[in-house]
Amino acid sequence: MRTMYPELEPYRTHRIAVDGRHVLYVEECGNPHGLPVVFLHGGPGAGLSPYHRRFFDPQRYRIVLFDQRGAGRSTPFADLTDNTTWHLVADIEALREHFGIERWVVFGGSWGSTLALAYAQAHPERALGLILRGIFLCRVQEVRWYYEEGGASWILPEKWQRYLAPIPPEEHGNLLDAYWRRLASDDEAVRLQAATAWGAWEGGGITLEESPDTEASFAAPEVALSLARIEAHYFRHGAFLEADQLLRDVAKLRHIPAVIVHGRYDIICPAKNACDLAAAWPEAELHIVLAGHAASEPAIVDKLVQATDRMADRYV
């Protein structure tokens, strides 16, 4: 099985203003003259991790990674003003133009797959290829599955109880709105309690095997506050997409090389999401592997690194 490339430091970092309010943290890694690829992180609101640089051959790729609006080292932190899918799509285009890149590979997992599809459907002429992992189409049933007691609570019942803890029983009929009221509270302690419970719930379901360290990292305030606030904001608005928009508009992408990688036992984003996308996009290469949701799981890493290598073989 393939593993990630060795640890890698950026050769250049940037702080790029994309409007009068938002400033994005951006990294460039690998070969400045290599095949351009843009990495789109999950959440929304989760931010970058150093291992995200390592899915790409640094000798053959020019790797552009950035913290999306409100996430990670972008500022203002956890900010929701002018923070929608379409603002993020515009940011990706602004970065492409800033770096003088004509076309690039688009790589995204979980929410990053949502954003990759939205971007490529808006700008198909800019996508050399798509590599997508842990498909999330932000449909109503997908949000209900994990955040509103669809099926995930039956698989992770003790963790579900901890997710319910900040919310009084009388508000359990609409958990997303109940969480939102607390995440938007003027009381910092209320916001933090809700954010850490939300982050722990998400981190607790991300790996196939139990990983207390992963759960703790998602519950850490520096991650949980942006993750919970921005996710709740997006989910309440259907990610600012029309119903089934990403499936409906797949026709715009069917000429673009694409690889879809999804864990068979992904609790956060069930494998049906990937199968629905592949059914609409028969030209895409679909891999269902023995894994959960996390990009770092060995079977997922194997397929993702194979995909990035083959994409480089195609264009370099």
Our CA angle for 178, 179, 182, nearest 5°, is: 95
Tell me if 23 sits within 8 A of 74, measured CB to CB.
yes
Catalytic residue ranges: 110, 266, 293
